């Protein structure tokens, strides 16, 4: 296994962080453009949300199939295919003249994004030692947030200055160059051998993961957490460009710099894990993000910025702990487990958008807070259930192992009485 501090460790963490950065640049490129695109195509906020939701929904649907495919074709091959397909799809969008064609291509982009996102963490778990993985996962999640920041700010500022097509071209070129660099530097796997004919095995593994309550509940936590996080930002974008603020798209997109708080907090999870358990950390993260939503109630730019920073730091803290929980608690088919977590994560993000943006359309930020409080209530209920379920599982495991230990001691003692 690769240990932290080695050359191979630096290559793996750099390449996977860069790939993650590219995935989230492309995924979130259109999020700050939504107010602009709504005006451009003369549709409602809920309707234009399909540009963003199409990619996240397609990504979520394709995560598990790509994870299963990686068992046959290799993690590295699947990740590189997704990375190199992304700029091709981006350039194809330049030929799009209608909203429906853009939505379809964004859905295809989601399929390509899923190829990398579904297996990157499994690659790390299989190649890195446990201690090295604990250090690397925070950097990987931090790259997610950095990619989201750059993609959103590039999308907003370039669209404001030159148009949405130029924003797509710039990101496509950057993705192509960086994707080639990842293909050159990412080491081949040493601790995983692809095997064909594993479909039935992974179907059974999928069912077992869903039957494991300590994993399933963490997946649901990831979904609700992301539904709140990403869509509070989407609503804030509409809020910034509307009266009384009336900010231009480029300036409003700078709110995504608040993601840097999430970059920092995701790295801090490794410090938390050294001293405390993951579940209380998830609760702390969600309390921080909840406070951010409430602070952003005030019609003040500083209050909104502070609120978004708290939302980012808390949500990324919770996400990093929940993501690592699933990858470590899964005892088999880890790629399938992490992909299944991301299915819940992105489905939550997609459906949460229609819910919170609908709240915005019909009642402003006050109604968004009411909808958000309903989701936070569900989130804290899931924390309570996860805590009880995990404690019960640990207690049951200890009870089952105790008699086995006593039996083993008796057998050992009896063996000493036998003739030699």
Domains of the chain, by residue range, sit at 7-189+196-394
Instruction: Please give the DSSP secondary-structure letter assigned to residue 106.
Output: H
pLDDT at 23: 95
pLDDT at 398: 63
Residue among 86, 228, 242, 240 at smallest CA distance from 171: 86
**Owner of token pair 């990324």:** 316
Q: Give CA–CA dist 209/82, Å, rounded.
A: 25
pLDDT the model gives residue 202: 67
Give how far the C-alpha of residue 236 lies from the chain's centroid of Cα atoms, to the nearest Å: 20
Cα→Cα distances 162→102, 141, 170, Å: 18, 31, 11
Whole-number pLDDT of residue 418: 34
The alpha carbon dihedral of 412, 413, 414, 415 has a sign of positive
| Per-position pLDDT tens, the chain of length 420 | 888 888 889 999 999 999 999 999 999 999 899 988 998 888 988 899 999 999 999 998 898 888 888 878 888 999 999 999 999 999 999 888 799 999 999 999 999 999 998 888 888 988 888 888 888 887 887 888 789 889 989 999 999 888 889 999 999 999 999 999 999 999 888 877 766 666 677 677 777 777 788 889 999 999 999 999 989 998 998 999 888 888 998 899 898 899 888 878 887 887 888 888 899 999 999 999 999 999 999 989 999 999 999 999 999 899 989 988 888 787 777 767 877 888 898 899 888 888 999 999 888 899 999 999 999 999 999 999 999 988 877 776 666 655 444 343 322 333 333 333
CB-based burial, 345-369: b 16+ in 10 Å, e otherwise: bbbbbbbbbebbbbbbeeeebeebb
pLDDT at position 415, please? 33
**Tokens 């993985």, residue?**
133
DSSP lists the bridge partners of residue 2 as 128
Q: Which of 395, 352, 390 is nearest to 374 (CA)?
A: 352
Q: What is the DSSP letter of 187?
A: P
What six digits make up the tokens of 238?
């509409």
- First-to-last CA distance in the chain? 41
Structure token digits, residue 13: 């963490």
CATH class of 7-189+196-394: mainly alpha
Distance of CA 218 to the CA centre of its chain: 13
- Helices 120-127 and 301-329: crossing angle in degrees, nearest 10, is 50
Handedness of CA 65, 67, 69, 72 (dihedral sign): negative
Does residue 219 contact residue 340 with C-beta atoms inside 8 Å? yes
Decide: residue 370, CB within 10 A, 0-12 exposed, 13-18 middle, 19+ buried. exposed
Helix/strand/coil for 128: strand
Residue-level pLDDT at 416: 35
pLDDT value at position 397? 65
d(CA 2, CA 188): 12
Long-range contacts, 411-420 (Cβ 8 Å, 24+): none
Q: Could you tell me how far CA 277 lies from the centroid of its own chain?
A: 21
Q: What pLDDT was estimated at residue 119?
A: 86
Report which of 355, 382, 386 is spatially closest to residue 369, judged by C-alpha positions. 355
pLDDT computed for residue 167 by the predictor? 93
Task: Please tell me the predicted confidence (pLDDT) of residue 296.
Answer: 93
């Amino acid at each position: 296994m690769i240990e932290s501090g080695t050359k191979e460790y630096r290559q793996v963490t750099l390449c996977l962080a860069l790939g993650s950065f590219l995935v989230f640049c492309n995924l979130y490129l259109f999020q700050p453009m939504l107010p602009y695109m709504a005006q451009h195509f003369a549709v409602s906020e809920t309707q234009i949300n399909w540009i963003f939701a199409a990619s996240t929904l397609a990504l979520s649907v394709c995560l598990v199939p790509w994870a299963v495919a990686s068992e046959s074709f290799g993690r590295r091959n699947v990740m590189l295919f997704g990375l190199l397909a992304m700029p091709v799809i981006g350039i194809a969008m330049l030929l799009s003249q209608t909203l429906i064609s853009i939505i379809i291509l964004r859905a295809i982009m989601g399929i390509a994004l899923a190829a990398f996102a579904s297996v990157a963490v499994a690659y790390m778990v299989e190649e890195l030692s446990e201690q090295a993985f604990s250090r690397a996962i925070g950097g990987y999640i931090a790259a997610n947030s950095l990619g989201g920041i750059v993609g959103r700010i590039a999308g907003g500022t370039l669209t404001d200055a030159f148009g949405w097509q130029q924003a797509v071209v710039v990101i496509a070129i950057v993705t192509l160059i960086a994707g080639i660099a990842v293909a050159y530097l990412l080491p081949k796997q040493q601790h995983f051998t692809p095997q064909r004919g594993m479909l039935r095995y992974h179907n059974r593994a999928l069912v077992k993961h869903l039957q494991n309550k300590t994993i399933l509940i963490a997946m649901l936590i990831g979904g609700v957490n992301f539904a709140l996080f990403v869509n509070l930002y989407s609503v804030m974008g509409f809020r910034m460009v509307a009266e009384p603020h009336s900010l231009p798209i480029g300036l409003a997109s700078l709110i995504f710099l608040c993601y840097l708080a999430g970059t920092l907090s995701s790295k801090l999870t490794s410090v938390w894990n050294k001293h405390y358990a993951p579940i209380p950390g998830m609760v702390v993260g969600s309390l921080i993000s909840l406070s951010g939503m409430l602070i952003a109630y005030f019609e003040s730019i500083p209050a909104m910025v502070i609120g978004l920073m708290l939302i980012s730091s808390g949500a990324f803290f919770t996400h990093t702990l929940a993501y690592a929980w699933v990858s470590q608690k899964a005892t088999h088919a880890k790629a399938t487990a992490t992909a299944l977590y991301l299915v819940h994560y992105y489905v939550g993000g997609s459906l949460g958008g229609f819910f919170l943006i609908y709240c915005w359309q019909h009642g402003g930020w006050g109604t968004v807070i009411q909808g958000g409080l309903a989701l936070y209530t569900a989130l804290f209920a899931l924390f309570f259930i996860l805590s009880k379920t995990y404690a019960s599982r640990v207690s049951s495991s200890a009870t089952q192992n105790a008699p086995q230990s006593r039996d083993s001691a008796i057998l050992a003692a009896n063996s000493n009485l036998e003739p030699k």
